[in-house]
């Protein structure tokens, strides 16, 4: 049996205490071996990121999860700040920037909008994957592999039963990624990583 992947969950939610869905997603995985969870707004309330610590954690882990609400078709600002200051030239990319080669990144987002509104030509005009393109391109530049996102849609309309089901699906995904029971090749056929588990 091969060694487990080490998974780093970075939760970017400035109002985590008010979140119904993200709190349940984190609760579902907070006891998993090999999974480290970091509440980024608690760690960096002043937005002054410890670059060396963050780079060290990236080097230590095989899979990085950027978990956040889908704010204005993007992420909360701290994730952008983290990308700007942590993924430095010479560390993450460039001729000497080889620290992250081969690592995997997945975006886990919650969205108030239903899935059917995020279609080409639909109400929002773009798919979630299209709107996440800057994150995917950032990951590619750093020679990492971007996996299809995990997405919970229609968060405002979900009852507690549906939220718990989404959280259990999230737990199954994190365990599968940690244990290597699903491969990037298998996932590439799906728009969302969730779809693999349906």
Mean pLDDT of 10-22: 92
Residue-wise pLDDT for 42-70, tens only, equals 999 999 999 999 999 999 999 999 999 99
- What pTM was estimated for this model as a whole? 0.94
d(CA 101, CA 98): 6
Task: Tell me which of 78-92, 109-123, 159-173, 175-189 is least confident.
Answer: 109-123
Give residue 1's pLDDT band: very low, low, confident or very high (50, 70, 90). very low
**Nearest in space to 25 (alpha carbons), one of 180, 195, 169:** 169
Q: Which residue ranges make up each domain of the chain?
A: 7-197
Percent residues over pLDDT 90 in the chain? 82
Residue 44 CA neighbour count, 13 Å, CB half: 18
Residue-wise pLDDT for 174-194, tens only, equals 999 999 999 888 998 899 999
pLDDT higher than 90, residue 146: yes
**Nearest in space to 21 (alpha carbons), one of 176, 193, 150:** 150
Query: C-alpha distances in angstroms, 28 versus 21, 111, 163, 167, 171?
Result: 11, 19, 11, 6, 6
What would the CATH number be for the domain defined by 7-197? Answer: 3.40.50.360
d(CA 154, CA 41): 24
């Amino acid at each position: 049996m091969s060694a487990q992947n080490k998974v780093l969950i970075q939760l970017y939610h400035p109002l985590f205490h008010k979140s119904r869905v993200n709190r349940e997603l984190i609760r579902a995985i907070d006891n998993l071996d090999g999974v480290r969870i970091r509440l980024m707004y608690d760690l960096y309330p002043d937005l002054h990121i410890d670059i060396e610590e963050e780079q060290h954690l990236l080097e230590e882990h095989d899979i990085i999860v950027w978990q956040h609400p889908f704010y204005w078709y993007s992420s909360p600002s701290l994730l952008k700040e983290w990308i700007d200051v942590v993924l430095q030239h010479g560390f993450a990319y460039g001729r000497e920037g080889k620290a992250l080669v081969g690592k995997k990144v997945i975006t886990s987002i919650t969205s108030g909008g239903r899935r059917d509104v995020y279609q080409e030509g639909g109400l929002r005009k773009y798919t979630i994957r299209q709107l996440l393109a800057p994150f995917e391109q950032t990951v590619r530049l750093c020679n990492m592999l971007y996996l299809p996102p995990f997405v919970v849609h229609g968060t405002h309309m979900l009852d507690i039963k549906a939220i718990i089901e989404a959280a259990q699906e999230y737990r199954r995904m994190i365990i599968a990624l940690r244990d290597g029971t699903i491969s990037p090749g298998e996932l590439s056929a799906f728009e969302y990583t969730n779809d693999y588990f349906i």
